Copies of this chain bind each other. A is one copy, B any other.
Amino acid sequence: MSDPYGMRRSLVLRRRPDGEPRRDDFAMVDEPIPALGEGQVLTRTIFLSIDPYMRGRVADRPSYAPPVAIGGVMTGETVGEVLASSDPSFVPGDIAVGARGWQSHIVSNAAALVKVDRRAGPLGAWLGVLGMPGTTAYSAMLDIGQPKTGETVVVSAASGAVGSVAGQLAKRAGCRVVGVAGGPDKCLWVQETLGFDDCVDHRLSGLVEALREACPNGIDVYFENVGGAVQEAVFRQLNAHARVVMCGMVSQYNKAEFPPGPNLGFVVGKRVRIEGLIVSDKPERFAEWRALAAPWVRDGSLRHRETIVDGLESAPEALREVLRGGNFGKMLVRVGKETA
């Protein structure tokens, strides 16, 4: 793969995926880097973030954000190094988060970027624990979940970029925290490294019973990332006045038709609150969270983990893996070297 200065490589959407995204749903395009307009910044991409929401952007279902057009550059958050800037707030060599695109080089408005300190932790953390996924967990727990000391909190996709932060926040709030994850390795990490009180492997049979054992006092907060059978099992064990944070339902993102959901009769008698969120609705939470969590990442009290694959061309497969649960922690694509 050649990546000459002066040219950039982009992944554009060739067609809307049918089921799982495939490499040939996207096409590689090489073209000259455009000249910078006023207030613009050119970054070379170091890491590209791969997140489940991207499946919605390549579908043509109604959603909270318009889909990527056929032939359009696929969207995604990156961390990169500034190569050139026509805005006084950035100079070459700065590290910037927020440029969007599955691209080797990205031209952004300076206002859309956040400068980060290269020495403040691994660069990938700015896309995961300190970035959009971490902020999502923080905003969701602060604004919807509101876990209280002594309550039981269940987090699905517990080893993922969002779930791992959500559960650690609930532990800091003094809750009993139970994760749900796929497979023994993830469950072990969730318990031993993240410090959850228990973790249920949803791939094993007897999910309802395993949850019941892990949550002897019922469930007060459910942080929903997956939907499907896990949702069904958790909903049956919610306590009165439980809060359900609807963050995602990744188990169905590849499906053409959505399956029915749980009967909602229990919501009345148990006075349950089920509420969805999109992190960009409260943009102020991003800076709040960076300020709060950066010291915790530095001192090691907020744990995180990344799965890193190499090369921009790996992004479609990385998205497929995220939707399958094939990642372990935050999924990143290393697009360029960390240091020039």
A residues lining the B interface (CB < 8 Å): 56, 63-64, 227, 231, 240, 246-249, 252, 258-265, 267-278, 281
Contact = CB atoms under 8 A, between A and B. Distances in A.
A264 to B, nearest CB: 5
Contact of A260 (B260, B273, B275): B260
Contact of A240 (B64, B227, B270, B273): B64
A265 B64 contact: no
A249 B266 CA distance: 10
A267 B259 contact: no
A268 B252 contact: no
A9 to B, nearest CB: 31
Lowest 3 CB-CB distances: which A-B pairs, in order? A260-B260, A258-B263, A267-B276
Contacts of A271: 64, 275-278, 281
Given A249-B264, A271-B275, 17 more contacts: A56-B269, A64-B269, A64-B271, A249-B265, A249-B268, A258-B263, A260-B260, A264-B274, A267-B274, A267-B276, A268-B276, A268-B277, A269-B278, A272-B276, A273-B274, A274-B274, A274-B275
- Protomer copies: 2
Nearest to A245: B268
Contact of A248 (B231, B247, B268, B275): B268
Contact of A264 (B246, B270, B273, B277): B246
Contact of A261 (B63, B263, B268): B263
Nearest to A264: B261
Nearest to A274: B274
7 contacts: A64-B271, A260-B263, A264-B274, A267-B275, A268-B276, A271-B277, A272-B275
Q: Identify which of A56, A263, A273 gathers the most chain B CB atoms within 10 Å of its CB.
A: A263
A258 B259 CA distance: 16
Given A240-B64, A274-B274, A275-B274, A265 B269 contact: no
A312 B264 CA distance: 33
Nearest to A64: B269
A188 B248 CA distance: 42
A64 B267 CA distance: 11
B276 A275 contact: no
Contacts of A275: 267, 271-275
Contacts of A246: 264, 267-268
Contacts of A270: 64, 276
Q: Identify which of A246, A262, A270, A272 gathers the most chain B CB atoms within 10 Å of its CB.
A: A246
Q: Identify which of A63, A240, A267 gathers the most chain B CB atoms within 10 Å of its CB.
A: A267
Contact of A263 (B259, B272, B278): B259
